[in-house]
């Protein structure tokens, strides 16, 4: 069965914290992270629904500690940026001319170079705009049970991430089969 995730990640692929502790503490303090289920794996916290904005009119959200409920995993710190993509990967836009490229047929690594077929601009995969369908980062937060475009991080959560890290964060959706 496919699994659907909302991923949060710092926009700067090269950035990583010295330790995850300040980030985890800040996310616990606002009620985003709940009970710890395992290594860096948490249940959704008490204020989760005030921090993640669900866009549908009647989303099915299972919270709490049971097995099927939404979990939040903090992945990292990785030595180098990790390019994360799923079955829902979209054709990226060129960072220079903004035109769409063909969708890559193979799984990409962060250091793989892509060349724009319109303007010739060449850059690593991380530099392209994947339109919220992939990310490139040394640390990321994975929220399970979120379908593509079903929910976005709210302002309070975005501000908390920015304050705890000194970095602007972005989000994407990944579907894993």
Structure tokens at 155: 């302002």
Closest distance of CB 90 from Zn ion, Å: 16
Q: Give the number of other Cβ atoms within 10 Å of residue 159's Cβ.
A: 13
Residue 172 found at the interface with Zn ion (CB under 5 A):
no
**Residue number with CB closer to Zn ion (37 or 121):** 121
Contact flag: residue 97 with Zn ion (CB under 5 A): yes
**Least distance to Zn ion from the beta carbon of 118, Å?**
5
Instruction: Specify the residue, 29 or 97, whose C-beta has the smaller distance to Zn ion.
Output: 97
Closest CA to 161 of 25, 6, 13, 18: 25
Shortest Å, Cβ 95 to Zn ion: 8
List of residues 6+ apart from 117 with CB closer than 8 A:
101, 102
Q: Does 75 bind Zn ion (CB under 5 A)?
A: no
Whether the Cβ atoms of residue 72 and residue 32 lie closer than 8 Å to each other: yes
- Cβ distance to Zn ion smaller for residue 62 or 97: 97
Pattern 104-143, binding to Zn ion, x per CB under 5 A?
------------x-xx-x----------------------
* Residue 124 C-beta: closest distance to Zn ion, Å: 14
94 lies in the site for Zn ion, by CB under 5 A: yes
Q: How far is the CB of 134 from Zn ion (least distance, A)?
A: 18
Q: What is the 3-state secondary structure (H, E, C) of 44-71?
A: ECCCHHHHEEECCCCCCCCCCCCCCCCE
Lookup: tokens for 158 = 């975005």
Pairing state of beta strands 41-44 and 169-176?
A: unpaired
Q: Which residue has the tokens 């503490």?
A: 25
11 binding Zn ion? (CB under 5 A): no
Residues near Zn ion (CB under 5 A): 94, 96-97, 116, 118-119, 121
């Amino acid at each position: 069965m496919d699994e659907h995730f909302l991923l949060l990640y710092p926009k700067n692929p090269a950035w990583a914290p010295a330790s995850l502790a300040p980030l985890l503490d800040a996310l616990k303090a606002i009620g985003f992270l709940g009970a710890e289920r395992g290594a860096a794996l948490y249940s959704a916290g008490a204020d989760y629904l005030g921090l993640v904005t669900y866009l549908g009119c009647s989303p099915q959200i299972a919270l709490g500690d049971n097995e099927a409920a939404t979990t939040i995993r903090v992945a990292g710190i990785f030595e180098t940026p990790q390019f994360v993509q799923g079955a829902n990967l979209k054709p990226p836009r060129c960072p220079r001319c903004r035109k769409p490229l063909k969708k890559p047929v193979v799984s990409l690594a962060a250091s793989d170079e892509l060349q724009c077929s319109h303007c010739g601009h060449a850059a690593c995969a991380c530099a392209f705009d994947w339109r919220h369908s992939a990310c490139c980062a040394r640390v990321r937060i994975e929220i399970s049970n979120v379908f593509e475009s079903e929910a976005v991080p709210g302002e309070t959560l975005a501000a908390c991430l920015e304050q705890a890290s000194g970095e602007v964060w972005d989000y994407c959706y990944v579907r894993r089969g």
